Amino acid sequence: MSRTIAISTSVFAVIWAQRLPGEETEDAILSRLLKCDPQEAPHEAKEDSGAGLRDGRSGVHFTEGFEIQRTYKGKQYKATVAEGDWKRSDNGQRFPTINQLNRSIVEGNENVWNGNWKYLAQDGTARSIAELRQ
């Protein structure tokens, strides 16, 4: 069973600084550091293939299969990390950055970290991807 814990961005950054190749989740990193066996993969992290995607500007690492969603002009859009790209669920288009993904939906420029893009947390609540920033 997974649990959600609140940590500061500085602690989050330190956790990811300790990451070794093949560790794609906080659970994997902390399991090694704390010398315990991981019980199950967190809900957000589907580790089926590839290494995911790192947003260079924010430092956020999105694991393979990580899904985000937003609503724009009354329509819901979803995208998933697939083989190093963001893949839109509605049309299969792929984008190397979250900004390019957003521009394929929104007219004009928009800050993608403004709270419009959400992910489902382990407790089932929709949370802004801004919470993942370092």
Domain range summary for the chain, segments of one domain joined by +: 43-132
Alpha carbon 24 to chain centroid distance?
A: 11
pLDDT tier for residue 25 given thresholds of 50, 70 and 90? confident
Looking at residue 47, its pLDDT comes to 40
| Selected residue with higher pLDDT from 53 and 22 | 53
Mean pLDDT of the chain: 84
Is pLDDT of 134 > 90? no
The b/e string for 44-72 (b: 16+ C-beta within 10 A; e otherwise) is: bbbbeeeebbebeeeebbbbbbbbbbbee
Looking at residue 129, its pLDDT comes to 95
pTM of the entire structure?
Answer: 0.62
User: What digits encode the pLDDT tens for the residues 93-116?
Assistant: 999 999 999 999 998 889 999 999
User: What digits encode the pLDDT tens for the residues 75-84?
Assistant: 999 999 999 9
Looking at residue 119, its pLDDT comes to 95
Looking at residue 38, its pLDDT comes to 60
Identify any residues that bridge with 130 across adjacent strands, giving them in sequence order. Answer: none
Identify any residues that bridge with 54 across adjacent strands, giving them in sequence order. Answer: 61
Looking at residue 76, its pLDDT comes to 97
Cα–Cα distance, 79 to 62 (Å, whole number): 12
